[in-house]
Structure 1
C-alpha cells in the first residue's frame, strides 16, 4: 500500500511538472516573453512564501532582471502573471483600455467570505461600476470636510497619551494602529473610542483579529489563491467568523437604531444609508478638489442607472473600508514616523512649517490643510518609498493585443481570464525615474520639481477608474496626525531604530524588520 501511494505521488508530481509547470515555460518561450524560471508549485514566490523576504522583493527581483523589457512573465505559484513595467503600457491597461481590464483578481468570492467578497474591491463588471457610482459621493471633499474633526479629536488623544510616555522607547506600530483604529471607528462606524486609555476595548481587540494570521490562515490563503477548488474543501474562510459577525451586527444595529430614532451623524454608515435611499448627489456634480499631490479623482461618469442594494451589500462596503483603511494607513504612518526619526533635518524643516502655520492660523481645517506644502511633500515621499500598493492587479475580460515587449519582438495577445500586474513600488524605486531612490527626499515633490515625475511612475493610490476611492480620507488621516505629532513632539532616533530600514517578511504591508522604535520628546 505504501509503495502504491509513493508511486501515485511521484506520478502526480511528474504530471504536474510536465503539464503545468513546463507548460507555462513553453507558453512564455513560444511567445517571446522573458521570465525567471520558477520553482515547481511555488514559481517565483518561493522566498516570500517561506518568509525569507517580502513579496515586494520577489516581484522587484523580476523587475530588475529585465530592465529593457516593457513587460515580462512571472510565476505566482502555478499561476502565470503578466508583469507590466512600462509606464505608457500601464496607462494603456489602467486608463485608455480600461474596458479590457475592468476587474481585480479575486482572492475570495462571496460564498467563502461574504463581507470581503461582496465588497467594492472584489465586485466585477457593471455591479462594481454601480457600487462605485453609489459610493463616490461619500468620498468627495464636502463629505471629508465633516470627518476631519473626528481625526483631530483622536490625534489629540494620542498627543495627550504621549505626555506620560516621553521617557520610553516605543515601537510606534501599536501607537499608530490605535490611532487609525479609532479614526475608522468614529468616521465609519459612528463609535467614540479611546484606544490609548481603554487599550482592550472591544472594537480594537476585535479589529486586530482580522490581521493576525496564524500558520493555518496563511496556508488557506495560499491554497485558495493557487488552487481555489482545493481551498473550498479546506473551508476557505480566512477571516474568523466571530470577527466578521461582530462588524456585521455593529453596522446593522447602528443603521436600525438611527432609522428608528431619526439620528444623523456625518460618518460612513450615515452616507451609506443615504446612498441606499438615493439621497446622495452624484459625484459628477460634487467638488473634486485635491488634498495633496497624491490624491486621485473619480474617473467614472454616472450612466443614470441607480441600483438598489441589499443590507448585506452595504455592510460589506463598511467592512472593506475598515480592512483597507486601517492597515494601509497605519503602515504608511509608521514608516513616515520612522523616516522622520532617522532624518532629523527633514523633521526640523517640517516642524518649522507647522509652527509658522500654527502662528498664523487658528486651527487645522479641511480648507487650509493644503497650505502645508512640505507636509504634503513628506507624505508623498513616504508613499513613494513605502507605498502600500506594491502592484495594481487586473484581470483581462476582453482580448487585447499588447505591442512587442522590445524592439524586434512580437506583439503579445492577452486573453480573457489572464492576470496582469502593473508594477508600482518597483517603478517608485527605479533610479531611472527617481534618482537615488533609497534616499528619503521630500524635495522631489517641490512645485519646481514635480514636472520631473514621469506620468504613471508614481501611483500610491492606483490609476484609472479602479483607483483608491478613499485617497482623500487617507491623506487627511495621515496629515492630521503628523501635524499634531510634529507640532508637539520631537521624534528621536534610539538604539533600536533600524537604519537603514529592512522589510519585515511575514506581513503583506511594508513594515520595518524589528519594529519602528523611537522616543517622543515634548517641544518647549
Structure 2
C-alpha cells in the first residue's frame, strides 16, 4: 500500500513539475522549439554547454515563418517576438501594456538594486525616467565629454610609455580599468549561481535572502556616494559628471546647457520616447546611489565587452582598421586634443561602432512584462487571437534579429558599410536594437557610445591593433560564463604607428 501511494505521488509530481507546465503554449496553439523539462530552453546555459547568445540565436532560428513563438525559462512560459512590426506594436505603440522588465535578480532583496532605473516598475519607473532623461541629452553628454576624453587620453598614454614595438594587452582588463575606477573594477564580482537563481527564481532568492551583491559592497557604495554628495554640497562643487547631473536633478535644477546643438553621427543611439514632465518626486541619496550603481555596473561589463569585441574586429579586419585610422588622422589636431564636435561627426567611426554592436550587441535579448491584459490579433492564416495576462513575459531576441539574413546580408561578416549614410535608410529600426527598444531602452546609449568612440580615437592615433599568438581567430564565445564574452579573453597587440610626417 505504501509503495502504491509513493508511486502515485511520484507520477503526480512528475506530471505537475515536468509535464503540465510545458503544455502552456501547445494549449494555446503557439509553436515552440526544442526544450528540456525542468530546464526549459535554458538547459545548455545552466549546464555550461551553450552561451546565452548561442541559445538565443538557436531558438530564434528553430521556429520559422512565425511572428512569435513560445519558450520556457525553466517552468516560466515566455513569448518571443520575431516580427519587427509586432515588436514595434508591443514595445512602442502599446507600451502601456508592457511597462516593466521581469523582476530581475530578485529585486526586493537589495535596495541598491531595486531602486535603479532598470528594476523600477510602473509609475515609479516613469517618474525616475522623467527625472533622469534631461541628464542624458546630447548637450549634457557634451559637458561630460571632457572627463571621458581625459580618461581615454590617459589610457593611450599609459601604453605609449611602455617599451617595445608591439605591446601585448589583455583588453578585457584594460577596458575595465578605463570604464571604471579601481574600486568599481575590483569590487563588482557577481556569483554566477546566485545571479542565475535571482534571475530565474526570484521568489526562492528572496526567501533565502540571497543577493548577487554583498552587504559590504552595498554599504561601501552607498556611503561613498553619500560622502561625495556631502563633500560637494559643503564646498559648492559642481561637476558635469554623472553624480553631478543626478544631484542637480534632485534639486530640480540642471547644469546649464549650451544653446548651440551639435549635429551627431550616432546611428546606434536611442531616442527618448517619454515626454518630459514635472514630477514632485525627490531623489534620495539611496535613489542616486542606485542609479550611479547601475551605470557603473553597465560600464563594468556591457560597455567594456563592447569595446573588446570592437578591438578584436579591427585586429582581424585590417582594411577596416586602416580606413578608420585614415579618418582619425584627417580629423586629429596637432595638439591631440579631441573635441566633442569632432567625435560626433566621424562618419566611418560611427559605422564601425554600429556594425560592431550589430555583431556583438550590448544585450543579446531584452524583455517586457505584461502590465495590462493584451490580445495579439491574428494576421497569419494559422494564427488565433492570443491573450496575454498580467505577469506574462515577452522577449525581444536582439541577437537573433541582428543575424537574420532577411535583414542583414552575410551577417557573420564585419561590414561597416551596412551603416553608411546611403544604406541606413534601408535598415528597419526594429531589426537593429543594440540598446533595446521603446521607452525602456538604454538611457545611457549616448554616454556608452562616447566612451567607445573616444578610447578608439586615442588608441588608433598612436597604435594599430593587431592579433598576437594568444588571439582566438575566430572568436570563441564562452559557454561557462554568464556574461557575453570570449573563451580566452581578448589578448591583442598594440603596434606602434610610425610618426606622422
User: Could you say which TM-score interval applies, normalised by the shorter chain?
Assistant: over 0.9
The match for 2:32 among 12, 31, 35 is 35
**Does the alignment pair 1:345 with 2:344?**
no
Unaligned runs of 5+ in 1: 183-200
- Asked if 2 retains the 8 angstrom alpha-carbon contact of 1:429 and 1:437, the reply is yes
Check the 8 A contact 2:131/2:279 in 1, yes or no: no
Kindly indicate whether the alpha-carbon contact (under 8 Å) linking 2:262 and 2:341 is maintained by their aligned counterparts in 1: no
Residue in structure 1 matching 2:273, options 299, 305, 308? 299
* Cα separation, partners in 2 of 1:339 and 1:469, compared to 1, 3 Å: same
Alignment of 1:18-167 (within 5 A): 18-109=15-106, 111-163=108-160, 164=162, 166=164, 167=166
| Equivalent residues of 1:502, 1:512 under 8 A apart | yes
Does residue 208 (structure 1) correspond to residue 182 (structure 2)? The answer is no
Pick which of 160-169 and 466-475 moved more.
160-169
Aligned equivalents of 1:108 and 1:227: distance in 2? 8
Residue 175 of structure 2 is aligned to residue 176 of structure 1: yes
Question: If the length of structure 2 is used for normalisation, what is the TM-score?
Answer: 0.93
TM-score (norm 1): 0.89
Q: In structure 2, what is the Cα distance between the partners aligned to 1:466 and 1:282? A: 26
Q: Is the 8 A contact 2:105 2:197 kept in 1?
A: no
**1: distance between equivalents of 2:393 and 2:229?**
38
Equivalent of residue 403 in structure 2, options 429, 444, 452? 429
**Post-superposition CA distance 1:387-441 (Å, at most 9, x none):** 0121121000111111337423212111110011011111001111101000011
Q: 1:250 aligns with which of 224, 232, 235?
A: 224
Change (3 A) 1:15 1:487: farther
1:187 alignment counterpart:
none
TM-superposed CA distance for 1:239, in Å, is: 0.9
Contact 1:109 1:118 in 2 (8 A): no
Asked whether the equivalents of residues 41 and 74 of structure 2 are also in contact (C-alpha less than 8 Å), the reply is yes
- Measure, in 2, the Cα distance between the counterparts of 1:298 and 1:107: 23
Aligned equivalents of 2:255, 2:122: Cα separation in 1: 23
Higher alpha-carbon deviation: 350-359 or 104-113: 104-113
Paired position in structure 2 for 1:466 = 440
Q: Report the CA distance between 1:147 and its aligned residue.
A: 1.4
Total equivalences in the alignment: 494
Distance 1:363 1:225 in 2: 44
Unaligned runs of 5+ in 2: none
| Aligned position for 1:185 | none
**Root mean square deviation of aligned Cα:** 2.5
Query: In structure 2, the residue corresponding to 1:440 is in which secondary structure?
Result: coil
Q: Secondary structure at the match of 1:521?
A: strand
1:369 aligns with 2:343: yes
Q: Following TM superposition, where does structure 1 have runs of at least 4 consecutive aligned residues deviating by more than 4 angstroms?
A: 10-14, 285-291, 359-362
Q: Does the residue aligned with 2:70 lie in a helix, a strand or coil?
A: strand
Q: Report Cα offsets for 1:128-181 as digits up to 9, x if no partner.
A: 000001011111112111211112211122212213154443321111111111
